[in-house]
Amino acid sequence: MDNLYYKVKLYLEANSKTESEFDSNISLRNDSDGNGDYIKVWNVSGLAKPSDTQLNSYASNATKENNNSIIRQTRKASYGLIGDQLDLLYKDMLADKGDKTGEWFKKIKAVKDANAKE
């Protein structure tokens, strides 16, 4: 379902629409019947429901968007609680290490390096 979601998102963006259209105007489904994901409801004002060919033209970028979304979730979990991050920043500032030598920067950089986006 994720890949179809990102294909539709990219289709919307390419046609000057926003992801907020999903809220009440689009419904994606998978009936577990072997036919895969599909658009069940399409009520986007001023934009026709995309064909499979149109959606498939976004396949590689949709995969990239999906992968980057997973990476962002992994990073978020690895960063730790915001309070702990702020504590590290505070300690770095007290030690005059509010730059790349500080512990907060080192931790964030390590997480980003270990979970690079495409």
Contact 49, 40 (CB under 8 A): no
Q: How would residue 23 be classed by pLDDT, with cut points 50, 70 and 90?
A: confident
Residue 112 has pLDDT above 80, yes or no: yes
Q: Are 103 and 88 in contact (CB under 8 A)?
A: yes
Whether pTM > 0.75 for this model: the answer is no
Domains of the chain: 1-71 (3.30.56), 80-118 (no CATH)
Measuring CA to CA, how many Å separate 28 from each of 8, 64, 82? 10, 20, 34
pLDDT at res. 8: 95
Q: What is the reported pLDDT for 118?
A: 83
CA distance 17 to 86: 37
Report pLDDT for 1: 60
Task: Tell me the per-residue pLDDT of 37-70, one tens digit each, with 9 for 90 and over.
Answer: 999 999 999 999 999 999 999 999 999 999 999 9
